[in-house]
């Protein structure tokens, strides 16, 4: 389940305070400046830095790395 478009517009990376990008499958929020990826569970973004996935590791699992 993807995050609401209006919510996506106001969310920001908790590390850099920069905008987030929704992954193609709608299951993750990507923070390119911080190099972190945040999972979306049941439409709720898990915006905890300790729970974030390093972008390079996430890209490998997506076949992009």
pLDDT of residue 21: 95
15: CATH? 2.20.25.10
Domain that holds residue 46: 5-61
The one-digit pLDDT tens for each residue of the chain (65 residues) are: 677 889 889 999 999 999 999 999 999 999 999 999 999 999 899 999 999 999 999 999 997 54
pTM above 0.85, yes or no: yes
- The domain tally of the chain equals 1
- Alpha-helical (H) ranges within 1-65 are 5-10, 55-61
Provide the pLDDT for residue 31: 98
Task: Give the whole-angstrom CA distance, residue 46 versus residue 27.
Answer: 11
Chain centroid to CA 34: how far?
11
Handedness of CA 15, 64, 62, 4 (dihedral sign): positive
The per-residue pLDDT for 5 is 85
């Amino acid at each position: 389940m993807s995050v609401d478009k209006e919510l996506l517009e106001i969310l920001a990376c908790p590390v850099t305070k920069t905008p987030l990008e929704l992954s193609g499958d709608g299951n993750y929020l990507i923070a390119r400046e911080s190099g972190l990826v945040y999972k979306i569970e049941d439409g709720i973004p898990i915006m905890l830095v300790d729970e974030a996935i390093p972008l390079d590791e996430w890209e490998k699992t997506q076949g992009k790395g």
